Structure formats: structure tokens, C-alpha cells
Structure 1
Amino acid sequence: MEPRSRSHLQPWSPFNKFSSRVFFAVFFLLIISSEVIESRFLVKSLPGLLGDLPFTLETGYIGVGESDDVQLFYYFVESEGNPEDDPLMLWITGGPGCSALSVLLYEIGPFTIDYANSTFEKPMLKINPHSWTKACSIIFLDQPVGSGFSYAKTPEAYITNDTLSTMQTYHFLRKWLVDHPKFLNNPLYLGADSYGGIVAPMIVQQIYNGNEAGEGPYINIKGYVLGNPLTNTSGDNNSKVPFAHRMGLLSDAIYKSAKKNCHGEYIDVDPNNTLCIHDLQVVDKCLERIRKSHILEPFCDTLNSLKSDLFRRGLRSLEETTVDILSAPQFQIQGCRDDNYLYSYTWANSRHVREALHIREEFKQIEWVRCNESVRSSDDDETLSYTKNVQSSVEYHRYLIDKNCRALVYSGDHDMVVPYLGTLKWIESLNLLIVNDWRPWFVDEQVAGYTMKYSNHDYNLTFATVKGGGHTAPEYKPKECLSMLMRWLADDDL
């Protein structure tokens, strides 16, 4: 989908790169819509966090698509180090349909829930000492449309897919950089986890293509960072059975029988292969009470009917409901990680929070949810608003190995949503040169995981497991993941 004529791509001359960047920054700033510029707000304080913010937080909307029908919401946090020189990262959340606020609160953002001093009715915040903003400035983007506080002006504009979402994110980034010209020269990295592993390499490719085609402004892309990324849908899903066996969740006999009878294919099974189907029923029985996002944590059924009613359909804000959620018999905090996420619903749906974040009035009657299931299906489960039209992003990685590009791919090694075995398999399929073979990496003299380094001329890829990490590794091992990122950004070995 092309941007409006006032935002058409402009030619770029490689013979005077710096002056061209300055020219196009000024040019676009003059013609960019006042709607974009007026949608930038500096947030100096947040409900639940005492005092002014000790870091720079900006929120805003940028329109993309036909007539800017899609309004993408972002949080921008300047580096707490040296924002003039530190890298800039655009972070893509998974799902599809999960909010960037989830990443801010639970993974790599500068603040998080202060559980010790919070009640469900009044969540409190605290500073995250292991925020990735210690090392770089980060744009946390609510994408695709329908995620977090992003919205569309028309029903048709909610209909999207992997390729369209890629282009909308790319156009968002170009507009954002034009609106923030002081970051044009900062090294840029794309960051993503989970389902973001499908679209992030596509966005990176689009950036390289745009630069080579002379599209302005020139984007100083340096590489990408992917955590437990879905990459090859078939391969990643099929790796769950061998992963479960390797982690002691399946016996040798069960695994050998399933491998033999299913021929290594555990997803698209021939319905006439009764031996395979029987083996997979045994496998399912072994794994049905295992928490897939971290196999060592307790399995809890938190999606009871009360929560579903309050959080998926009807909750606007505790200020607008008289339901005493915690005292309801159906609702029990079970000491599970998923219970932590409930605080974000209360916080994000508070009128005071929305005012502080400058959420638009158009979103007033829309409930914020951490992961919007309706992005993937409608209420009648017949119409998909998001079509997963790319089943594998391996070829996009293969395209990037011919570029001057750096990649960090990390995997929490206790994740069974996207197991590290599947990730290693597609990395090996790239046929890169092994620079450093499998070895441990350390934090505070303790093994933090294992790593390998690959290269192909000007392209290099570092793979790292995070020992004890789950599907979103920084959520489980924040100190180790920050150390990993900082070393990699400095081009040091892990």
C-alpha cells in the first residue's frame, strides 16, 4: 500500500550521503502533515510511578496506509546512556496482535510492575534496572493495526497480513525518522520476538531495498535482533517433539515410536496414518499440562469465564465497574506468571493512564488488551482480520546474508513455543561459515547460556541460548539478556 502523494519516496544521491540526509530530513519536515507532528507528546510522569520519569518517554501516533487510515501508536524511550550516539532500535512485538506495552512492562522496558506494593485495583510501577534502554534508544510500536492502542479509521483498514503489515511498519519508520531527524545518523537495529520473527526480516529487507533504490530518508540500518523467533512455521512447530524428548518430557520409547511412525512430521499428519496419530495422542497426553512458554513453570488455567468476560470483552476501567474481581469465587490468583499480566489490564485501561499517555479520544471506548485475539479472528471465527500469508522468513535471512549486516538471534532454552532446536535448524540451513563453535557464555562467572557465531563476508550472525529463559527470554533472565545485548552491540564476543 503506497503512502499519500505528499509522502512519496524521493531520490537519494550516494555521492553526498550526509547532505542528502539533511536535505530530505528538512524537506519531509516541511511537507509532513501537521497531524503527525501534533501527535508527539513528551510524558513526564506516569500513574503508579512516584515522581517524574528519570528517562525521556515520548508517545504518539503516526498515520500510514491510504489516507493515513491506519494510526500506529508508539512509545519512544531515549537511551539512558548517550542518546546522541547510542543505537536506535525499532521493536516489533509478536502475536500477531500483542501490545508493545507488554514488552515495556514485562520484558525490556525501563519500568515494570512493583508487585510488592501493588494491589490489583491500584498497580504501582518501579524502575527496571535491566532495561535495554541502558544501551540504546527504543521505539516500541503497536503493530499491526488493532494491537495495543493502534487503530484504524475504517473497518476495511483493519484487514491486513504479513506483507502489508511489513510495508506499514516500514512507512511508519520512515515517517518517524523524518519527524526525529537527530536520530537519522544513529545505527538502527530491528528488534522482535515470537511471531515478530516472521515480519522483522521482511522489514529489514525492505529497508535495505529502499536505501539501494534511493528512497529518502536514508536509513542507517545495521542489523537485527530476534528472540525465540518464529521463522519457519513448519520446522519450528515440528521441533517441539524432539525438544520435549531432549528435555525429558517424553521417554525414549515414545519419541522413537513417534519419529518412526510420523517420519519426523508431527503437524501435517496423514489422517490415514493411524500409528502416527496414536503416537501423537500419547505425546499430547504427556505435554498437555506443561506450560509451553516455560516448561519448568506451573501450568495454570487462568482463562476462566470471569476473566474472559472482564478482560476480553467488557473491561474499560476499574473506575467504571463495581465488580470486586479479587473477591469473586471464580477468580483466584494462583501464583502463576500469567497472573502478573492482569495488572497491565487495570493499568492500561485507567482513564488517568490514558490521559498520561495521550491516547486519542477515538480509542476511548476501545478496551486495551495485552494480546488482541480479534486481530487473528473475528467473533464468529469466520473472517480473519490478519492473514498469515508468509509461512517462512528463512529466504529473507538468506537475502540479508549478502548485505553488510549483523544479526543476534537468542533463544530461552526452556521455551517450547518456538524451541531453540528449530531455530538452530534454520540457521544451519543458511550454510554460513562457523566462526566460533558451541561454547558457554557467562554473566557474573556463571553460565548464562551457550553461543555460536557465523559469518558470510560482511554478514555475521550470533546465536545464543539463554539458560533458564522462556519464550520471552528477557522476562525470565533480565540481567543476562541485557549483558548479552550490550556485548553484542559493542561487537564483543559473548
Structure 2
Amino acid sequence: MAPVVSCLFLLALIGHWPFSYAKSQMHDPASTSQHTTTAFELIKALNLHPKLDVNIFNPNTSVSVSTTDSKIVEKQLRLLVLGESGASIHDLVHLAGYVRINHTIGSRMFYYFFQSRNRKDDPVVIWLTGGPGCSSAIALFKENGPFHLTNNLSLVWNDYGWDKVSNIIYIDQPIGTGFSYTSNEKDIRHDEKGVSDDLYDFLQEFFKLHPDYAKNDLYITGESYGGHYIPAFAARIYQGNKNKDGIHINLKGFAIGNGLTEPGIQFKAYPDFALRNNLINEKDYNRIMNQFVPKCEQAAKKCGTHGQKTCLDARDKCLQVHREIASISDFCVYDIRRKECYDMSAIEEFLNKASVKKALGVPRDINFVSCSGVVYGAMLEDFMRNLEVGLPQLLDADIKMLIYAGEYDFICNWLGNYRWVDAMKWSGQPEFKAARVIKFKVDGKEAGLLKNYGPLTFLKVHDAGHMVSLDQPKASLQMLKKWMDGKIN
């Protein structure tokens, strides 16, 4: 059987992206260092060109209400959307706001909240885009949000938005991503502990302001580097609940789409995936497997879960596997069927409009940072760490886990994701290994291949690349609903 599964939004995996971590945040290709210029070129696969590397901003309360010292400042979001929402209620609650994050010098995390078009007591779903350092607005406006942004900067209702079955929150994180900002660069995070603590603080403040949603079931979702964020955040919530650390959060599950979770196994799968899809021939395969994969595998083990410099060495050695394959075939790393990748430039243009920032409550001096080089550079040592190790305790606590992946994504391909899921040691591992693969159907037609046992589900999605919700919106919505309802198996 061909196993099934998930990946990530790793914009920088193509190359180094070692942005210099400097106080100057402006992109100027004519004057930046060679490293920065290299990084600037990498994100052109999505046609993104952020004007800043990060938002370091000393707020002046005269600039915007969003820069006050309140713990949370939000406003009703009223954007012109074409078409009909299909909602069963008349006045949908759409919010945008900032949360001041505890345990930081001066950080504000930006978010969008959309009430379910179905029922207010639907589950709360959190979406985290990867990078690290890419805004969740990318998913909001181009993948699974309530509406889609067209190339002429109009908004149209999305018939398959995830808000049709959930109350959904899109968060610009880690700090410095998207519209999130800080007054001090010391708040920029370097590891998953810092990232997950900030997200936990965010959620505590959000539920204090919106206690009606705190009782709802909660699911964490995301893609790409979300394969790192999501396990750490889920573990932080689990531990916070055990320690009675603030408001109890009704965590029911988490889903990772095309994510990076266990790099050692996933990088090793690159040559196999490439050979299966005719990106390389058998001679190339044998050369890469013999010359580069063993070095990657050994270095990844040294990195482990908490390595530092060893993780930088592992990253260099494992990226060489990727480079060798990319030097042989010309393809889009997010979808091997394409020569050219996606064009997300409309998002930057739209969110940097003064009228849109005003509607969102964003200070006029804050720029939209689609993907932050500073955030990415700060997380370099985190990149190769193994985030699978904390998942067995969550599964054994009956917290549901869904790993899904578009079959044509290369960078976080389904094969590597399936292999780490299959290799994960937990109480249900023997039963999961023995479970049969079944068809995942949408409207009576096969849309993917699925394997499930207990709280663990793996899904390989047909005819999709790195962004499953973009390529297969109807299937992704059905996947989410059936999974949350416990009916995906």
C-alpha cells in the first residue's frame, strides 16, 4: 500500500535564509548582505516581497488605539465581501485585535477571529501558518478563511471556509510575524518553549475576554512549520490544564498539514519520494542515498530534541539532500506538478493599504510582514529538532491527532510524514501499524487514502500540493468536519 500524510509551509527550506539578525529591518536588495539577499530571493516562489524583516515598534498611544496598555484590544471587523455568506445567523462576529503578551518586554500578538457560520457553540479552531515567520493571513485569504482575496483585491465568500464548521482564530506568530510587533528585539523567540508560552498567554487572554467560547472544544491546526509549533503548543495546553495554570482549555485535538515534525526521518525520505515521482533516476538516487543521506541522518540524531550548534550542522547536512535533488529536476517544491509556484502578492498589497489597516485596528506605522527573515533566523537552531517525542503522552491522553498531506508536495512530502507517524512509539503503535488503509471519500468519490487507530489518523490527500485547503477546499472542509465529529474513520 502507499501510505498517507502531511507536511509544512517551509519557505526557507529551499536554501539557507540566514537573515542577519540586525536592528535594521528594512529590505533593500541593493544594500543588504549576501545572506539577506539570498533569503530575499527564496520567498519569490510565492511572489512575496515584504518591505520589512520584522516589526520592532515603539508605540505611541496617539498613533492607534491598538497600542494602548490594555491586555487585549480588538474591534469588530467590517470588510466589504462580495456574494452571500450562507450563514444561518444574521450578524456574524468578525474581530481583529492585539493581545499584549505576558512575560515579554513589549509584545503584541495580532489575530483575526471569525464566528462560525453554523453555530456559536461549534469548536474553536486555531490556525498557525509556518515558515517559521510567515503570517497566518496567507491561509486566511488564500486557503481556508471565510473569504478569498482576488487578484483585483476584492473579497469573495469562500464556500469551503473552515468557519462553516468552527469558530476560527488566525494568529500572526511568532512575535514579529505579520502585524504582530514588539518594542524590543529581545522578545523575538528562538525555540518552541518561547513560542508555545506566548501562544498559551495569548489564548488565556482571549478566553478571559470571550468566556463564552472557553467552554467549546478546541482544536489546533496549521501547516508546514506548524509541524513544530503545534505539538509544542498542544503539550503546553495539556501541561497548563494539569497544573491548573489559568483558564482550563478544552483541548480535543490537533491537526498538522504538510508539516515538519521529525526532520531526521523526513529528510531521509526525500530521495525515495523523488525517485517514485521521476524527479531523479536510479543512479542519482543511489548516489544521494550513499553520499548525503547518512550524514544527514547521523547529524539529525546529534541534534535530537534540544541540540544547538549540532542542529545547525544537521540543517546544513540535510539541506544538501534537498539541494542535490533540486539541482537535477526543475519543479516547484510545494507542488511537483508545477514549474511556477503560487502568487500570494495580492495579500501584501491588500494588507498594507491604509484603509485596510484602519479597519483592522493596526497602527499606521506597522507594515504587514508576510514572512519575517528575523523570526526565521532566530529559529535556525530549532529547525532540525525532533518534535515527535512529546506526542505519545497526548495520544495516550486520548487527544486526537490528524496528520494530513497533499500527495504532490515535495518539501514536506507525504512519504516522510507517514514514516515518522508509523515509527512513533506509543501505546497504540502496533494497532496503527496493523490497521488497513481505506478510501477517504467526498461526494462518493475517492479524495484520499486514510489510516486510523484510536486518536491517531493519517490522511494522504489526492490532487493536492503543500496547501491542501487551496488545492482541495471541499475535501479539506470535509476532512476537518469529519475529524472533529469523530467520523473520519
Same fold (TM over 0.5): yes
Residues 479 and 283 of structure 1: CA distance in aligned 2, closer, same or farther (over 3 Å):
same
Task: Check the 8 A contact 1:375/1:386 in 2, yes or no.
Answer: no
| CA displacement at 1:285 relative to structure 2 | 2.9
Of 455, 466, 482, the residue aligned with 1:487 is: 482
Tell me what 1:337 maps to: 342
Tell me what 1:443 maps to: 442
Residues 138 and 257 of structure 1: CA distance in aligned 2, closer, same or farther (over 3 Å):
same
Task: Check the 8 A contact 2:127/2:168 in 1, yes or no.
Answer: yes
What is the distance in 2 between the residues matched to 1:280 and 1:291?
Answer: 13
Tell me what 2:71 maps to: 36
Tell me what 2:334 maps to: 293
Tell me what 1:23 maps to: none
What are the within-5 Å matches in structure 2 for residues 71-150 of structure 1?
Answer: 71-84=108-121, 86-115=122-151, 118=152, 123-150=153-180
C-alpha RMSD of matched pairs (Å): 2.8
What is the distance in 2 between the residues matched to 1:214 and 1:439?
Answer: 40
What is the distance in 2 between the residues matched to 1:277 and 1:133?
Answer: 37
Residues 282 and 424 of structure 1: CA distance in aligned 2, closer, same or farther (over 3 Å):
closer
What is the distance in 2 between the residues matched to 1:342 and 1:199?
Answer: 25
Residues 385 and 484 of structure 1: CA distance in aligned 2, closer, same or farther (over 3 Å):
closer
Write the letter of the residue equivalent to 1:423.
Answer: N
Write the letter of the residue equivalent to 1:285.
Answer: S
Write the letter of the residue equivalent to 1:183.
Answer: Y
Write the letter of the residue equivalent to 1:65.
Answer: N
1:424-465 Cα shifts (integer Å, max 9, x gaps): 11111224222741222111232211110023xxxx111101
Task: Check the 8 A contact 2:274/2:325 in 1, yes or no.
Answer: no
Task: Check the 8 A contact 2:162/2:477 in 1, yes or no.
Answer: yes
Of 101, 105, 108, the residue aligned with 1:64 is: 101
Residues 112 and 67 of structure 1: CA distance in aligned 2, closer, same or farther (over 3 Å):
same
Residues 283 and 140 of structure 1: CA distance in aligned 2, closer, same or farther (over 3 Å):
closer
Unaligned runs of 5+ in 1: 1-32, 300-335, 378-383
What is the distance in 2 between the residues matched to 1:40 and 1:373?
Answer: 27
Of 269, 276, 281, the residue aligned with 1:239 is: 269
Write the letter of the residue equivalent to 1:161.
Answer: D
Write the letter of the residue equivalent to 2:102.
Answer: G
What is the distance in 2 between the residues matched to 1:278 and 1:483?
Answer: 37
Task: Check the 8 A contact 1:40/1:58 in 2, yes or no.
Answer: yes
Write the letter of the residue equivalent to 1:337.
Answer: Y
What is the distance in 1 between the residues matched to 2:198 and 2:142?
Answer: 26
What are the within-5 Å matches in structure 2 for residues 260-339 of structure 1?
Answer: 260-262=290-292, 283-287=325-329, 289-299=330-340, 337-338=342-343
The alignment partner of 1:216 has SS state of: coil
Task: Check the 8 A contact 1:238/1:265 in 2, yes or no.
Answer: no
Task: Check the 8 A contact 1:192/1:227 in 2, yes or no.
Answer: yes
| CA displacement at 1:34 relative to structure 2 | 7.3
Q: Which has the higher contact order (CA 8 A, sep 6+)?
A: 2
The alignment partner of 2:255 has SS state of: strand
Tell me what 1:352 maps to: 355
Tell me what 1:396 maps to: 390
Residues 147 and 387 of structure 1: CA distance in aligned 2, closer, same or farther (over 3 Å):
farther
Write the letter of the residue equivalent to 2:472.
Answer: K
The alignment partner of 1:169 has SS state of: helix
What is the distance in 1 between the residues matched to 2:459 and 2:171?
Answer: 25
Task: Check the 8 A contact 1:229/1:418 in 2, yes or no.
Answer: yes
Aligned residues: 397
The alignment partner of 2:368 has SS state of: coil
| CA displacement at 1:158 relative to structure 2 | 2.7
1:354-384 Cα shifts (integer Å, max 9, x gaps): 011111x2xx33431321223223xxxxxx3
Task: Check the 8 A contact 1:162/1:388 in 2, yes or no.
Answer: yes
Task: Check the 8 A contact 1:197/1:226 in 2, yes or no.
Answer: yes
Write the letter of the residue equivalent to 1:481.
Answer: S
What is the distance in 1 between the residues matched to 2:383 and 2:142?
Answer: 29
1:261-295 Cα shifts (integer Å, max 9, x gaps): 54655577899xxxx999988644323x2100000
Unaligned runs of 5+ in 2: 1-67, 301-312
User: Which protein is bigger by CA-based radius of gyration?
Assistant: 1
Write the letter of the residue equivalent to 2:390.
Answer: Y
Of 197, 204, 222, the residue aligned with 2:234 is: 204
What is the distance in 2 between the residues matched to 1:71 and 1:108?
Answer: 25
1:123-168 Cα shifts (integer Å, max 9, x gaps): 1111111001111111111100111100002232235432101111
What are the within-5 Å matches in structure 2 for residues 223-238 of structure 1?
Answer: 223-238=253-268
Task: Check the 8 A contact 2:100/2:109 in 1, yes or no.
Answer: yes
What is the distance in 2 between the residues matched to 1:207 and 1:220?
Answer: 9
What is the distance in 1 between the residues matched to 2:461 and 2:321?
Answer: 31
Write the letter of the residue equivalent to 1:75.
Answer: Y
Residues 292 and 385 of structure 1: CA distance in aligned 2, closer, same or farther (over 3 Å):
closer
The alignment partner of 1:177 has SS state of: helix
Task: Check the 8 A contact 2:132/2:379 in 1, yes or no.
Answer: no
Residues 253 and 51 of structure 1: CA distance in aligned 2, closer, same or farther (over 3 Å):
closer
Q: Which moved more, 1:393-402 or 1:409-418?
A: 393-402
